[in-house]
Structures are given as structure tokens and as C-alpha cells.
Structure 1
Amino acid sequence: METELDTADEPGCFQWAPVKAIGNPPRQRSLHVAVVVDKCMYVFGGYDGSNRVNDFLKYNFKTTKWSQIQSGAERGPSARDRHVAVAHDKCIYIFGGYDGSNRINDFWCFDTENETWTPIESQGTTPSPRHSHSAVEYNHSMYVFAGYDGNYRSDFHEFNFAQRKWAPVQVKNQNQAPKARYRTSAVVWKDTMLVFGGHDGAKHLNDFYEYNFEERIWTQIEQGGKMGPPSPRDSHIAVIHGDSMHLFGGSTGQARNDLFEFRLDTREWHEVKPALPNTSLSPVQGRTAASTQEAIQKATPCPRFCHTGVVYNNSLYIFGGYDGQNRLNDFRQFKLVDEVNVEIPSSSLIQDLKNYINSPLFSDVTFIVEGDKRVYAHKLMCVRCSYFRAMFQGEMREARQSEPVEIKNVSHRVFLGLLEYLYTDELDISLDMAMDLFVAADQFGVERLKKLCERKILTSIDIDNAATILQAADLHTAVSLRQSCFDFILRNFDAVSKTQSFEEMGRANVELVFEILKRR
């Protein structure tokens, strides 16, 4: 009896199943990238069998919908394959690859909140143009390892997001580093980067290394367990889930669809055998061993390499790749753990806290802004800010009095926005308030809010306001914003230099004008 999959069912533990999806999925492709930000998986670029592409799509895990974000070289990176991508602070960073003619080393940032592409203008020595390299994000830096730039590489580079600067990684025991390779996997677990397999130009590899970011040393991992390591391969995927690394597929000379788990606590490999998928047949309806195996094989992704894999909500998701004959665009899910199916109401914490903003209920401090406007607040929430913490806990005069506290040089609207952030850790920052809120966040020492404002302001830089924003960024030590303003002004100097804001900047801070002229 033929077993039909019921794709309306969610897979159980250790089961493969097609992913529920509506909307138009990405076209068939391999050599693309996929990363998860919040509740979405983003897919960019790759090779469709005829051309390199630069279309950009996302899959929303909550709505189960595919949607296209944007396409076209004029709005973002050029078409490419064999590039890398990492996610950091709700942004996706794309580096390098092959455009069909040349290996490249351009660097792009996509802001998932504003859905805008920005080329990264960096300092330091950028890695050589390359493809088939690997990359991870760790502690506010992007790390790029190995690849092919005309030669197989084992070099290791760091890009610091705050400094916007590339630098070679200073490894203490370089003689213990992995040999040159490409198409290896790299993932982060705790304070280490794990590198498995790849191809060295002569043969497939299955060696396994970890790099300790804190100690700055490479160590080759002894691969224990009864089965030993997976067979040598490249173009596979690896992901971290808990204290395990899962590895799927790749090429050993032939496409593979085996799945392995490396337990990082016991340092042992185990092959993961898929369980029988949910089907329309019950276990007592005469299922034979042959029909059981057929159902498992039908649910399992076909052998492939140059695919992508991500983890979301305790499941491994596989998309696309190449089976040796055809590019693919199937989308499969493998559930890694059993989940307790209990309906949990949405959290109301943020809204509950928001209701106390400027409310006299339980208020134990009153602020006066704009001379006569009272704002009711609660010390317990205000002490998230270092300025108010010093005010209420330290020797400041306001800590010893019960009278209202006057706040100068901050508007009523901006101060309420500051409190909303302190109460809820989030704020919908409007463009017309971003600069004033940025100044207030700097005044009161709220660094994360300052960065959020900084990012919002970055999207609004234009010819007329670039000089004004540069002055504010310089005054309040906003390094990234200051650099972005300089880059914009240098690219558009002839137009910016004729604006009223540039003239006012020259009168207020002639050193900035000199710095601009020196950089030209």
C-alpha cells in the first residue's frame, strides 16, 4: 500500500517534512545564502543553472509566507554565488563571492527593519576577492575564514562592526591552524568557531577544528564515538542546536543526504536516522517494513550539495541546492526535539509597563520638563539609566529631596520617548524625533537607545542635512554615524558644500571642514 504524506501535519521529533508555505518561493538554485533574523529566513543570490542571481526573498515562519523583498543590481549587491552572509543586530551582511566573471570582495549591509541596502565602506585590509569561503558572527564582529582567491586559502579575518574595520585575526598557534581549503562549514558554539571538512584542491576533507576566540588558538578536535567522523565532504551545511552540531548533505564526489550530530559535551558523532513521518496510515493498518522505509525516504530531502540550512524554533530547515543534475528549490524541515503543545498566551509585559509611563499610579518621582509640564515616573524603571541611577542612589541633590526634578534642554515629547524606552526596552523612533532623542540619550547615558537613534538617522542623511548630522555625531561621539556622514559628504561634496547647513558647520566647527578637505 502506498503511503501518502499528510503535509498538513507538523513533523514529530526526528521527522522530515515539507515546510508549509504560501506565496511564490525562490526559483531553483544552489550556492546561495540563507540567514535567520527574528521570525524570518532570508535567501539571497546563488546560481540557477544558467545565471548568477541577486533576487532577495524572505520566508516568515509565523505566517508561512514567501515574499520577494527587492531585486536589481541598482539597489543592492550584484548577482553572485558562493558568497557568505551573517546576521548582526537585525542586519544581514553579505561579503564576496563570484559574479560569473570575477571573484569579488565587496561588502554590503541589509537593514531588515528599513529594508534598505548599504555598501560598507571599511577601514583596514579587506580580505582578497574570493568565493567559497565561510563566515560567522561572534561578539559584534564578523569572521571570514578560508575560500578560494586563485589559490586555496586558510587565512582568517575579522570585521569589527563598531569600528567598521577589517584586521587579520592574530592567532597564537598559526602552525596548528587548518590547512587551506574551500567549501568548508563554520559555526559558532559558545566561545569557539567549529570548522568541519571542505576541499583542499586535491581531496575532500573530514578533519574537524575549533578556534577559541578568547584564547586565540586553534585545536584539532578528536572525533570520538563508535562511528567515527562523517565521510570526507565539501559543500555541506552545519548548524548549532543546543550542545550539538548537526551536519547535513554535501558532496563526497556524489551528492549526500545523510544527517549527523556531533555532541559537543561528549565529543562523539552519531548518525541521525529519520523517524517515520506523520502519514495517513496508522501503525496498525498493516504497514510493512518496505512501506515504512518508503515513507521515510519520501519525506527525506534528496541527496544534495551547495544548499543552505538554518535552525529556527528547534527545527533544522534545508532549502535548495544541487543534486548532481538539477538545481532545487524544495524546502524541508527536520524537528530536532519534541515540543510540549500547550497554548501559551502572548506576553503582556511590555504593554503593562507602557501603561505606567506618565501615570501617577505608584509613581515615586515627578519630573518637570519645558518649565511647567509634570511627568510622573517610577524610580525602579528609571534606574535602568546610569544618569538617574546616580541621581537616586548617589550624592546628587535630587536623591535627597522629594520635590519634582527639573529636566532641562529636553522637550516633553522626547522625554516621554526616553521613558518609554527605559520602561519597555523598545521604542518606535520617528524620523522627526530621532536627532533630539539621540541627543537626550547621549545626555542621560542610554547607549543602546543612542545606537537605535543613530541607525534611524543613517537612513535620513541627504544633501541638505548631512553637515548638521555630522556636527551632532561629532559632538556626541557617535563613531559610526560620524563616519557615515563623512562618507556621504565626500561622495557628494560639490552639492553638500553649497548648503546652508555646511556653511553653519564651518562657522561652528571649522575643524570638521578641515578634516573633510584633508580626506578629499
Structure 2
Amino acid sequence: MDQPVYTWKRIPSNKNTPSPRASFAWASYKKKIYLYGGKDENNERESFYVFNLEDLEWEQKLPVQEKEPETRTCVLSVLHDDSMFFYGGYKSQNSSVLSGLFEYNFQSNQWNSHGYFDDYAESYHYSTGLYRDNILYFGGSTGYYQTNKFVSYDLHQQKWILIQPSPKTPEQRYLHSGEVWNDSYFVFGGLSFIENNDFHRYDFGSGKWEEITQKNPETLWPKPRRSHRTFIHNNKMYLFGGYGHSIWHGDCIWIFDFRNYQWRKVDILGDIKPKKRRVFLFEKYHDSIILFGGFTEKHKFTKSGYVLKLKGDLEKDLSHFLKNQVLCDTTISCLRNQSIGAHKTILNARLKTNENIIKLNQKASTLERRQVFHLLKFIYTGIGESSYKSMFTPNLDSISNDYLSLLQNNNKNTNSNISHLKSPFDFKIQLDNQLIQVHKIMMAARSELYYGMLTIVDDPSGIAPDLSGLSHSAFILLLQFIYSDKINQNDIDLNDLIQLKDCWKYFGFRSNRLKRICNKITKIIK
């Protein structure tokens, strides 16, 4: 059974699972995560482990001993080509702060040392990133004081550079996070004298810092924290965990969208809840997040690992329909007088304007059929080549947002058009003597019941009786789930929810998710 979206699944431990630890270095390389060092309840660990992302199994690695760094903790690494790099660190056995840049090469299984930088010297609990073959380090602690120095190491010239501060340079801090996106470096939170939730951006073009602030007090914003983790994926920064103001965080994932500079909060669903933690592994792989280790709210080091599924079944369902050319109602012309089936309803809903539809047809006429397939896959699911992302104006939103907003607009005005396009709704369901407009392809792709019905019913009027037995208002909730994998919790009638929960049998392997959502909302209403 597929794992429901935004739910955790525990990774089983085996004899090769690393001992409980936190504050280690790691890097993801060719379907594996390489983990080095860290600290447990006794001391620093020098062991090196590899986690296979395909079979979710650990194994111990034994690098060549020559030039191996001394054991350390409180480090972060970056990946460049076939190597991982980390700087400095901390050794609690003699309370010393370490210096030096070290490289581990995955191909040769060997260590290499790149010396240290006088202007940065000893440092730990910094943030790091990679920008155009330059390793970046910001902030950290020297053991005596915190710093806000920003330095880079040019991997080609093997040269250190101190990046000059600007008037809005963030204050000194450590245990913060830092990420590179496009031509900027973003720093969030950390510990100065107190935990922070300030957010800063360094522009490599202008060489200046700026602070990103809340637009108004009601704007969603993560609480102050340190020792959290972040990563970048699809123009978004994902933030999880950490500790701040005597509060442990871990009930939700915060997502910052670089396209509109807004935060949103995604609650974690399901019954499996990892202990809240700090200084842990947090890594993206395909449509999942890998979580491992850290120091938990129970004040224990842990070796527990989990997988969180990011993408819902919506993308998979539509991608399957694309691949199998099911219920296509139009064609797109390609090179060599070839064509490929497509769905007008999805194209209209996703592309939003006539100009974008014209762009699609013009682009497709210059591509091979297999290339058009991947272009359509990107339009349908948001998954695909980066070159397609800037092709349309306005840009494509998330697929859930596009379909849900389309549904909501249609509820307000059944005669509404999207940007003067012909209505993208191509089918009507007759319910309680009312007609509800829907997308035939969405209904068929998402529900075995409607797939069976719509492949049999061939009414030229485009109208079919409803077979769900739902009231009109409950059916609107069902459409929300079909279109977005979610249900709006506002203004829900308990009777509608009870009816909706009985629809689980229409959704095959998604049935558990529908039941779980209904149960959660029922508890809130009661």
C-alpha cells in the first residue's frame, strides 16, 4: 500500500544502523546518504556510514585512513562533484574548537585536507552552502564568541575569501540554517543571545544583505528556533524541527516559497509521530524526506529514522493517465507529422490563458513526440525539466492549488470562465436535481468508481447521474479531495463528513488517507 502524503513511516533498524547520535555531517550522492562523525552520550564518533535510499538499509563504510580528520561534531557538509566537504567542528573530550577544511571523495574513498582560513579559523555550528564552485560559511561559534563572518572557499583556485559585510549584515549567531537559491544566500533563525526567527538574504550580485520581514502581524511565520534543518526543493525552502524559547518543534513542516516570499505551514498527518528533535539529518530524495538521528525532546540521542512522503497521489494518478493515453479528448502536433493525445480540461485549468495554450502548441510543433510527452507531464503534474518552468506566464502554480481554485471559482459562479477561456469543466454530475460541473479526466483519474462510470457512459449531453449517494454539500467536499488530496476544514457539517467518510471505498489505495482526514476533522468539530 502506498504511503499517504505528509505522513511519517519508520525506517526499520538493523545491525548496521549507526549508534544514537547528533550534530554529524552528511551528504546525498547517487541514491545514497553518507554520514560522518557526530556525538552520542559518551563522546564524538569517527565512524562513517552509508544509507541506501532505494532499499532503506544502512552499512558501515571504512575510508582509507591516510589524512583522516580527527573525530568531531557540530559540523555540516556540502556536496561538490564527487566529494563532500566540511569545516571545523567541536571536540567535547577536551572542549576544543577545531579548524580546517576536509574533503571526502566518494570515488576514491579517501580524505583530503585543504587547510584553514586565518580570518575564520576555528568554528562550529555554522551554516554552509555552495555557490558557483565556492563553498560558503556564515556565522558559527569560536567557543568564546559567536560570529557573523561570511567567507567562501574557491574550489578551483583553492583560495579563501572574506566576504565584506554590508550595513544590514545579520547579527552574530550559530545553530542557524543557511541555503543557496539562485544568486542569493538565505539565513534563518539560530541563537544569538536568544533564539531568533529573523530571515536574511545576501545578494551575490550587489554584495548586500537585506532582511525579509513579515508583511503584517497575521502573516504565517515560523517561531524562533535553533538547531533546526532546512533544504531547497522546487523553488521552496523546507524547514523542520529545532528548539526555541523552551519549545521543541516538530509537529509541522514550514515551507517558504521564493516566488512570492511567503511561508506556509503543513501539518504532519497520521498516527506515527517522531520525537521532536534538533541537530539531525534532514534530506530530500525524490518525493520523500529522510529524517535520522538528533537530540530529542526527551534529552536523549536517537538513532531512529523516518520517511515522510511529500507529494500526494494526485500527481501520480494524472501522470499514469498521461502515460497510458486514457480518455484523451484532443491531440497535440509534434515533429514528423506525429501527434500525442492530451486532455483539454487539464490544459485549460493549468495554462490559464489563451496565450499559454498558443505557446504550448508552438513549442510542441518543434519537438519530438517523446519530448512533448515530457512537456505534457510537466504541465499535468509540475514534475519535469527546469527549462519548462519559465515557459508560461503566469507561471504554473502547484497542481493542487490550480485545481482547487478552479473548483472554488466554479462553486461561486457556475457560468464563470478562466481568463475568457471556454469553461474547462467538461462534464456534469446530476445530484439532488442540481447539475455540478466537473473535470471528467479528474474524476476518472482519481476514483475507480468514476473511471468505470465515465468509460461506459457515452451521453452526448455530457451529463451522468451521481452514484455516490451524497448530498450536494457533501459532494463538494468529495470534489475537494479528488482535486487536491485535501479537505477545507472551515464550515463543515458533521453529517456531510459522515457521508464523505463512507466514500473511502471509491478510492482504492487512497482510502486510508480519506478516512484519516475525515476522522481528524470530526475530532475538531466535536
TM-score, scaled relative to structure 1:
0.57
* Root-mean-square deviation (Å): 2.3
Task: Indicate which of 148, 164, 181 corresponds to 1:170.
Answer: 164
* 2:187 corresponding residue in structure 1: 195
CA gap of 1:230–1:194, structure 2 versus 1, over 3 A, is same
Measured in 2, the distance between the counterparts of 1:215 and 1:312 equals 33
CA gap of 1:63–1:269, structure 2 versus 1, over 3 A, is same
Measured in 2, the distance between the counterparts of 1:215 and 1:103 equals 33
Q: Does 1:160 align with 2:167?
A: no
Measured in 2, the distance between the counterparts of 1:320 and 1:266 equals 33
* 1:246 corresponding residue in structure 2: 238
Deviation at 1:64, TM superposition (A): 2.6
CA gap of 1:54–1:224, structure 2 versus 1, over 3 A, is farther
Measured in 1, the distance between the counterparts of 2:257 and 2:160 equals 33
Deviation at 1:22, TM superposition (A): 5.8
Deviation at 1:71, TM superposition (A): 6.5
1:46-85 equivalence runs, <5 A = 46-70=38-62, 76-85=68-77
Q: Does 1:302 align with 2:275?
A: yes
Please state whether the residue corresponding to 2:167 is helix, strand or coil: helix
CA gap of 1:239–1:223, structure 2 versus 1, over 3 A, is farther
Equivalenced residue count is 312
Q: Does 1:27 align with 2:13?
A: no
Aligned 8 A contact 2:66 2:110 in 1: no
State the Cα deviation string for residues 289-344 of structure 1 (Å, max 9, x = none).
xxxxxx2xxx1221111112111112221111111421011111222223527799
CA gap of 1:30–1:84, structure 2 versus 1, over 3 A, is same
Measured in 1, the distance between the counterparts of 2:235 and 2:212 equals 15
Aligned 8 A contact 1:54 1:73 in 2: no
The amino acid across from 1:68 in the alignment is Q
CA gap of 1:208–1:46, structure 2 versus 1, over 3 A, is same
* 1:421 corresponding residue in structure 2: none
Q: Does 1:104 align with 2:110?
A: no
* 2:256 corresponding residue in structure 1: 262
Measured in 2, the distance between the counterparts of 1:121 and 1:235 equals 27
Show structure 1 runs of 5+ residues with no match.
1-8, 277-294, 346-520
* 1:364 corresponding residue in structure 2: none
CA gap of 1:33–1:39, structure 2 versus 1, over 3 A, is same
Deviation at 1:169, TM superposition (A): 1.2
Measured in 1, the distance between the counterparts of 2:286 and 2:215 equals 28
The amino acid across from 1:137 in the alignment is L
1:268-417 equivalence runs, <5 A = 268-276=262-270, 295=271, 299-324=272-297, 325-338=299-312, 339-340=315-316
CA gap of 1:43–1:126, structure 2 versus 1, over 3 A, is farther
Measured in 2, the distance between the counterparts of 1:126 and 1:68 equals 36
Deviation at 1:75, TM superposition (A): 5.4
Please state whether the residue corresponding to 1:54 is helix, strand or coil: coil
State the Cα deviation string for residues 221-242 of structure 1 (Å, max 9, x = none).
1234845321111000011111
Task: Indicate which of 38, 43, 49 corresponds to 2:35.
Answer: 43
Please state whether the residue corresponding to 2:277 is helix, strand or coil: coil
Aligned 8 A contact 2:125 2:141 in 1: yes
Aligned 8 A contact 2:63 2:110 in 1: no
Please state whether the residue corresponding to 1:340 is helix, strand or coil: helix
Measured in 1, the distance between the counterparts of 2:55 and 2:108 equals 20
Measured in 2, the distance between the counterparts of 1:193 and 1:157 equals 12
Deviation at 1:158, TM superposition (A): 0.4
State the Cα deviation string for residues 376-405 of structure 1 (Å, max 9, x = none).
xxxxxxxxxxxxxxxxxxxxxxxxxxxxxx
* 2:120 corresponding residue in structure 1: 127
Please state whether the residue corresponding to 1:159 is helix, strand or coil: strand
Deviation at 1:59, TM superposition (A): 0.7
The amino acid across from 1:165 in the alignment is K
Show structure 2 runs of 5+ residues with no match.
324-526
State the Cα deviation string for residues 139-191 of structure 1 (Å, max 9, x = none).
101000000111110000000000111110134xx120110000000111121
Measured in 1, the distance between the counterparts of 2:2 and 2:36 equals 27
CA gap of 1:73–1:146, structure 2 versus 1, over 3 A, is farther
**Percent of aligned pairs sharing the same letter:** 25
Measured in 1, the distance between the counterparts of 2:249 and 2:67 equals 36
Aligned 8 A contact 1:224 1:269 in 2: no
1:407-486 equivalence runs, <5 A = none
* 1:211 corresponding residue in structure 2: 202
Measured in 1, the distance between the counterparts of 2:4 and 2:287 equals 11
Structure 1 runs (4+) greater than 4 angstroms displaced: 20-23, 71-75, 224-227, 341-345
The amino acid across from 2:287 in the alignment is N
Aligned 8 A contact 1:146 1:153 in 2: yes
The amino acid across from 2:91 in the alignment is D
CA gap of 1:10–1:109, structure 2 versus 1, over 3 A, is farther
The amino acid across from 2:308 in the alignment is F
State the Cα deviation string for residues 420-443 of structure 1 (Å, max 9, x = none).
xxxxxxxxxxxxxxxxxxxxxxxx
Measured in 2, the distance between the counterparts of 1:191 and 1:19 equals 36
CA gap of 1:48–1:10, structure 2 versus 1, over 3 A, is farther
Please state whether the residue corresponding to 1:175 is helix, strand or coil: coil
State the Cα deviation string for residues 23-66 of structure 1 (Å, max 9, x = none).
61111011112221121111111111110111111111124321
Measured in 1, the distance between the counterparts of 2:238 and 2:74 equals 21
The amino acid across from 1:156 in the alignment is F
Deviation at 1:274, TM superposition (A): 1.8
The amino acid across from 1:110 in the alignment is Y
The amino acid across from 1:300 in the alignment is K
Deviation at 1:275, TM superposition (A): 3.0
Aligned 8 A contact 1:72 1:78 in 2: no
Aligned 8 A contact 2:13 2:304 in 1: no
Measured in 2, the distance between the counterparts of 1:264 and 1:223 equals 14
Aligned 8 A contact 1:126 1:166 in 2: no
Deviation at 1:96, TM superposition (A): 0.5
The amino acid across from 1:317 in the alignment is I
Please state whether the residue corresponding to 2:47 is helix, strand or coil: strand
Please state whether the residue corresponding to 1:154 is helix, strand or coil: coil
The amino acid across from 1:274 in the alignment is I
